[in-house]
Amino acid sequence: MLNSREPQDVFSKQVPKNLITNILYFIVNLASGLFLVPYFINSLGVASYAMIPLATSFTAYVNLIMVSLNTSVSRPITIELQKKEFKKANVTFNTALFGTLGIILLMFPVVVLLSYYSPSFFEVPSNQENTTRLLFLGVLSAFLLRAWGSNFGVSIFAYNRLDFLNIINAINILVQVGLIVLLFKLYSPNLAYIGLAYLIAAIIAFALTVFFSCRINPHLKINIKDFCRSKVKEISGMAGWVIISQIGSLLFLQIDLIIVTKLFGTLAGGEYSIAFTWSSMLRTIAGVFINILTPVILNYYIRGRIEDLISLSKSAIKLTGFALALPIGFICGFAPQLLSLWVGPEFVKLSPLMLIMLSHLAINLPVMLLFDINVAYNKVRVPGIVTFCMGIGNFLLEIMLPLLTGWGYYGVAIAGAIVLTLKNALFIPWYATKVLGIPRTTFVSSMLPGFLAVFIIAGSCRFINFFVPISGFGALIISGIAVTIVYIGSIWTFTKGNAEYQMVMSMIPSAIKHRLKLNIKSSTK
């Protein structure tokens, strides 16, 4: 499915490498998250730990304009580089590079003010005010630096070398974790050291991004003379609507933690953050599958291969749903045991919160791939308006529902699940079909199987625990392996011969497929 019709085109052959490095990056991200959450809780306490996800969530707001501009720049640069129009690509690159630098310089005083007043906004104890300021300043500055560096990453994206971007992101996480543990051991647990670790890691990641960009694409040169004001208008046209969409997305994905902390205190915010960690990890898993296909979708659009684009999107949604169903069902099914073993028995009470926050993701995350179709066709105005309006509705409902019902932070999670499902399950698939000019129900059949698989897996895990109670990590791991083997075997049998099977096979490196064939052949003699 992903193989190009042109022999000289190796664009899609990069997909297996991208998938492997995406999986490795996810493993690094997962391992660091599982390690750091209990490490921070034990070292700093639940209330102080709440400041860390709050600081990182604020980076999404500070980074809002940068992400929107990079999304808008990636489309024209990819098209120009694919067509080997290097002069135009240099104009687009330098316009974005120096334009975003100007925006960053304007935003930095805002970052300083936000960092300075963060203790007052979140009612931090007086003995932690300065460390909280340094935490926010370090984390926000790090993300600004990485946002500017992503201008260099656009050319890496354009050539579909996501394996290099995954390596850079993995190194960024490893440096963060290593420095945090080192500074905590050498001195003492302190929020300020976390901000410092984020900033140093960002500097290293920035340098690596520039290095790989120059290595992969020597055609792009830094030259302020290539800054073009007319190009700014072209880029900002799409960027404006993407920004509106990003604001709406943040009101879906990042506002709940702030609302919980403001309404119910830092202790409640810390507890909510524990469940929120798993939601973030599952979004990373979704990104493993979606990110590797984004350049391919844009490439199909450039080449006019619309039927392949539609077929790829349908198969990718179904496969992503199946892939997410396994961890979501496992976490929901073993939520009490997982929380007890991971952060302590006192947090088992959060298992219903995890069910609310995670169960709907099997249908809400896979359809994120369809937004790439809007970007490819430059149809981002309507999704931006709808996402923004529903984001405001989500914000208001997350405040009203817990206050009216007395459900506490459970009400915040329920409100978020309701509105996000309305947007992702109804509007996003419908609008993608409108852009493509195909029947409205084209993607519906691809969305449901993964959602149903979640309930089957979660029920199976509860069934296992009923007969063989899970009391340690060993039993949990063995149960997970057993469920995974049965599930993958069932899915493999169910999809064999289908388009999804062909898609999976196209993502496996040729050397591995060849080796497997040799082993199968030798074993049957």
| Residue 423, Ramachandran bin (φ over 0: left; ψ between -120 and 50: alpha; else beta) | alpha
Q: Do 323 and 285 touch, CB atoms closer than 8 A? A: yes
Mark whether 153 and 267 lie in a shared domain. Answer: no
Provide the percentage of residues in the chain whose pLDDT is more than 70.
83
pTM attached to this predicted model? 0.71
Confidence of residue 523 (pLDDT cuts 50, 70, 90): very low
Mark whether 17 and 47 lie in a shared domain. Answer: yes
Burial class (CB in 10 A: 0-12, 13-18, 19+), 481: exposed
Q: Average pLDDT, stretch 351-364?
A: 91
Whether 266 shows a pLDDT value over 70: the answer reads yes
The better pLDDT of the pair 228, 345 is held by 345
Q: Do 144 and 65 touch, CB atoms closer than 8 A? A: no
Structural domain ending residue among the three candidates 194, 227, 260: 227
Mark whether 259 and 143 lie in a shared domain. Answer: no
Mark whether 246 and 163 lie in a shared domain. Answer: no
Mark whether 384 and 486 lie in a shared domain. Answer: yes
Confidence of residue 518 (pLDDT cuts 50, 70, 90): very low
Residue 516 falls within a domain, yes or no? no
Structural domain ending residue among the three candidates 227, 255, 272: 227
Q: Average pLDDT, stretch 219-240?
A: 74
Confidence of residue 46 (pLDDT cuts 50, 70, 90): confident
Q: What is the domain extent for residue 51?
A: 10-227
Q: How many CA atoms lie within 13 A of 66 on its CB side?
A: 30
Residue 472 falls within a domain, yes or no? yes
Confidence of residue 235 (pLDDT cuts 50, 70, 90): low
pLDDT in tens, 304-333: 888 888 888 888 888 888 888 999 999 999
Q: Average pLDDT, stretch 22-42?
A: 82
Mark whether 221 and 246 lie in a shared domain. Answer: no
Q: What is the CA radius of gyration of the chain?
A: 23
| Residue 486, Ramachandran bin (φ over 0: left; ψ between -120 and 50: alpha; else beta) | alpha
Angle between helices 473-495 and 444-467 (to 10 degrees): 140
Choice among 59-63, 105-109, 178-182, 273-277 with the minimum mean pLDDT: 59-63
228's tokens: 């073009």
Q: What is the pLDDT of residue 454?
A: 92
Structural domain ending residue among the three candidates 227, 252, 280: 227
200's tokens: 């140093």
Q: How many independent structural domains does the chain possess?
A: 2
Residue 519 falls within a domain, yes or no? no
Nearest in space to 379 (alpha carbons), one of 424, 332, 432, 449: 432
Residue 65 falls within a domain, yes or no? yes
Mark whether 313 and 430 lie in a shared domain. Answer: yes
Its sign, for the CA torsion 278, 280, 286, 291, is: negative
Mark whether 304 and 350 lie in a shared domain. Answer: yes
Mark whether 199 and 254 lie in a shared domain. Answer: no
Residue 517 falls within a domain, yes or no? no
CA distance 408 to 420: 19
Mark whether 244 and 223 lie in a shared domain. Answer: no
Mark whether 174 and 192 lie in a shared domain. Answer: yes
Q: What is the pLDDT of residue 242?
A: 66
Residue 518 falls within a domain, yes or no? no
Residue 136 falls within a domain, yes or no? yes
Nearest in space to 243 (alpha carbons), one of 51, 3, 69: 69
Mark whether 65 and 139 lie in a shared domain. Answer: yes
Q: What is the pLDDT of residue 156?
A: 82
Whether 227 shows a pLDDT value over 70: the answer reads yes
Q: What is the pLDDT of residue 115?
A: 87
Q: Average pLDDT, stretch 67-91?
A: 75
pLDDT averaged over the chain?
Answer: 81
Residue 305 falls within a domain, yes or no? yes
